[in-house]
Chain A
Amino acid sequence: MIGKDVAGIIYSSNYDNYLTELTAVRTMGSVPFGGRYRLVDFVLSSMVDFGVSKVAVAMCNNYRSLMDHIGNGRPWDLARKREGLFMLPPYNFSGVGAYGSKMSMLRGAEDFLNHTKEEYILVTDCNVVCNLDIEKLAAFHAENGADITLAYAKGKLPQLPDTAVLKLGDDASVTEMEISPKDTEEGAFAVNIMLLKKSLLLRLIHEASAHGWKDFDRDILMRNPGSLKICGYEVPGFCRVIDSLQSYYDISISLLDKAARDALFCEERPVLTRVRDDMPTVYGIGSSVKNSLIADGCVIDGTVENSVLSRGVRVEKGAVVKNCVLMQETFISSGATANCVITDKNVVLRPGKTLSGAENYPLFISKGKVI
């Protein structure tokens, strides 16, 4: 299997309800992350790196910012005459309302699938932060003769209502699957990256439709009505699932660790994103910056420690920013102090104001607020 045998479907709206603060004005795929990215960039770049040239992005609510971000797909080289990028906003034909679940999203994508000549489909969500090497996933799928390959990570289970916990046999096949078991805290959990043949996916969608099945994981994967060979592929390296504002904060701050950055921003698979044409970041006289990840276009005259700053952030003289995640165009005025704060875009902290959260309870300031 090579890139041109695979088409991608990225579903952006699956977990918006679990990151309500950040998805108040956008969908999961366009949640800013890591200084200059949006969450959709990671999986989209992985697909493009593998050579996938046909990708559908399905979305349900608040998708204006996502459409704005992706545009015609040029940053990912998906602005094509042949194949390229397809946007799948909800399509209200009879029987399929606005997408409420992965199943209805897939039913909405049926037309896209029917017109796709690629043999395989990679279906993913947007709330996973990893730099997936799809070549390895594809090789694993072929070696194991799998019908369906589910990517998984090990560790503390994401606190989502549909976390699929996998038990794996010696041959990497999934022997048992539980959905968000109450009494388990750690384990191997699926990260909503699934590779399978297009023909199989269409068959499963039709079968689900015929039986009135509503939940892809529970009704299809767990029941496994056709005795399919479902295999689990462990994503190597950095792979984290965003399930809450706290985890968003923790994962953002973990980028200050070199190993995490090296895994996520490896040279072989660059993460591509929309260009903003900012100037380089300017550090003024008397600025003090320690252990921080800083995007282009910032102007820093104050103090910044242990923080992640997005493009165009201003930190004035005498301002102090510690343990913060500041999104685009946040303005921290002179004499203001922020500690353990997440600011959405265009937040202004006026002179002398102090904001403080805690590392296990970061304070969130919503888009455009002036404090």
Chain B
Amino acid sequence: MARKKECIAMLLAGGQGSRLGILTHNIAKPAVPFGGKYRIIDFPLSNCVNSGIDTVGVLTQYQPLELNDYIGNGQPWDLDRADGGVHVLSPYQQIKGTEWYKGTANAIYQNINFIDRYSPEYVAILSGDHIYKMDYAKMLDFHKKNDAACTIAMLEVPWDEASRFGLMFTDPDGRITAFEEKPKNPKSNKASMGVYIFTWSKLRKYLIADEEDPSSSNDFGKNVIPAMHTAGERLYAYPFDGYWKDVGTIDSLWEANLDMLNPKANLDLGDKTWRIYAKNTAQPPQYIADTAKVENSMVSAGCEIGGEVDYSVLFSNVTIEEGATVKYSIVMPGAVVKSGAVVQYAMLAENVTVESGAYIGECPEKTENLDAWGVAVIGGGVTVGKNAKVAPKIMCDNDVAEGESV
């Protein structure tokens, strides 16, 4: 029997992230590279260990190979523990039949046994697709102080974006009085961040009840939390005012990467009191050549830069040859941009090759029809041929031949 824990975390990492298109064809969304050397899942995992949570269940389902491999025994996050640590939890065969995780609540329901092993007082339910730094210990204090059944982390978002979120109404004490799911005309700007702390004894009861309801879609936001609210349980909103971003779309992923270059974005990756840990690869330091011009960018180990790099994030082992230009772009590990190529407002996935003279993406200022503009995405391992052209907003999963325009 495992030792009792006050609070453990369950990290929902099973989603496909279909809105990320070709970036998640072969990997789960939480394994998508982010911020030069990280993957998205590093943020919630590091938050856990920095908050003193040493037991984390990671629920995986979609394309788990790379994610499972990445998490390994949890050592990079200091989660290789004799007691607790990180556990990858996949759907499994049961005597009554086998089910995939039908929804977020069902995923937790299927792992009640795992949680019960640690007899926790509280369970944090986290998402594997958010970029933020948060001290869950403070949120737990808030939860305890309010004697809540459920505490939902809440962020005040700009009013014009509020309609994209699940919104909450609270009384002056922070107790939630009503919910509104992605309304057309929002009356609140208090958005749920998809970070929950539950009192386990309560949640356990509601999960079992939810599972018995055949009409339920077994989702926390849609079913379990509304059911708790209807039953009069104490639900509280925990106000958070740091950087937080859901990187579920190409645009938001691109933006969030470039946010790391903006000191005003309020997410300091260099803060040693709240490090974001990642599995490190063995790469030599980066080399910036005489011909290079690197400004306002983030560059990782193993890169060789001979060209011009501006306002971009370069992952490990990227080569930018002399005479190449990379602007407002995210370049994932191992990509090569050859001389004379221009890459702007683009995301190049792992091991992309951009041959000389190719032209990828475009500045929005030079685009006549702004609706047709967007970030160009080149899929993993794709080669863009000499003098080929890739238009904005294109998702390119196949090689582009020399001189071709897509």
Contact = CB atoms under 8 A, between A and B. Distances in A.
A269 to B, nearest CB: 10
Interface of B: 35-37, 75-76, 261, 269-270, 275-278, 280, 282-290, 292-301, 309, 313-314
Contacts of B270: 278-279, 282, 297, 299
Q: Give chain A's interface secondary structure class.
A: loop
B284 A34 contact: yes
Given A279-B37, A282-B298, A283-B295, A293 B282 contact: no
B301 A296 contact: yes
Interface string A125-149: 0000000000000000000000000
Interface stretch (A107-115, A284-292, A335-343): A284-292
Given A285-B296, A296-B300, A280 B284 contact: no
Nearest to A299: B270
Contact of B295 (A272, A278, A285, A299): A285
B298 A293 contact: no
A272 B281 CA distance: 9
Given A289-B292, A292-B287, A293-B286, 7 more contacts: A36-B285, A270-B282, A271-B284, A272-B282, A277-B278, A280-B300, A280-B313
A216 interface: no
Contacts of B36: 279-280
A290 B288 contact: yes
A174 B269 CA distance: 55
Contacts of A278: 270
21 contacts: A35-B284, A36-B301, A275-B76, A275-B280, A277-B276, A279-B35, A279-B298, A280-B35, A280-B36, A280-B37, A280-B299, A280-B313, A281-B299, A281-B300, A282-B297, A285-B295, A288-B293, A289-B288, A289-B292, A289-B294, A294-B287
Contacts of A309: 285
B287 A280 contact: no
A50 interface: no
A290 B292 contact: yes
B301 A295 contact: yes
Contacts of B35: 279-280
A interface, size bucket: 35 or more
B285 A284 contact: no
A256 B282 CA distance: 19
Nearest to B37: A280
Contacts of B277: 277
A176 B248 CA distance: 70
Max chain B Cβ within 10 angstroms of own Cβ: one of A74, A279, A291: A279
Contacts of B309: 283
B287 A284 contact: no
B295 A291 contact: no
Interface of A: 34-36, 74, 256, 258, 261, 264-265, 270-273, 275, 277-297, 299, 308-309
B269 A279 contact: yes
Nearest to B268: A279
A281 B305 CA distance: 13
B296 A283 contact: yes
A163 B10 CA distance: 60
Contacts of A294: 285-288, 299
Contacts of A287: 294-295
Given A35-B285, A265-B284, A272-B282, A291 B290 contact: yes
B302 to A, nearest CB: 8
Contacts of A34: 284-285
Given A36-B285, A294-B288, A296-B301, A277 B275 contact: yes
A277 B49 CA distance: 14
Contacts of B297: 282-283
Q: Which of A34, A277, A280, A308 has the most CB of B within 10 A?
A: A280
Residue of B37, B282, B294 with most chain A CB atoms under a 10 A cut-off: B282
B75 A296 contact: no
A271 B284 CA distance: 8
A361 to B, nearest CB: 25
Residue among A74, A275, A281, A293 facing the most chain B CB atoms (10 A cut-off)? A281
Given A279-B37, A286-B295, A296 B285 contact: yes
Contacts of A275: 76, 280
B72 to A, nearest CB: 12
Nearest to B309: A283
Contacts of A74: 75
A77 to B, nearest CB: 11
Contacts of A271: 282, 284
A288 B294 CA distance: 7
Contacts of B75: 74
B316 to A, nearest CB: 8
Nearest to B288: A289
B273 to A, nearest CB: 13
A290 B290 contact: yes
Contacts of A296: 37, 285, 300-301
Contacts of A290: 288-290, 292
Given A282-B261, A296-B301, A277 B280 contact: yes
B295 A284 contact: yes
A27 B278 CA distance: 29
Contacts of B298: 279-283
Nearest to B77: A277
B37 A291 contact: no
B77 to A, nearest CB: 10
A346 B269 CA distance: 20
Contacts of B296: 283-285
Most A Cβ at <10 Å: residue of B275, B276, B284, B301: B284
A289 B289 CA distance: 8
Contacts of B293: 288
Contacts of B276: 277, 279
Contacts of A265: 284
Nearest to B296: A285
Would you list the 10 A-B pairs with minimal beta carbon distance, nearest first? A280-B36, A35-B285, A279-B269, A265-B284, A270-B282, A295-B285, A280-B300, A289-B288, A275-B280, A280-B298
Q: Which of B261, B277, B295, B314 has the most CB of A within 10 A?
A: B295
In this complex, the member of A265, A284, A289 whose beta carbon has the largest number of chain B beta carbons within 10 angstroms is A289
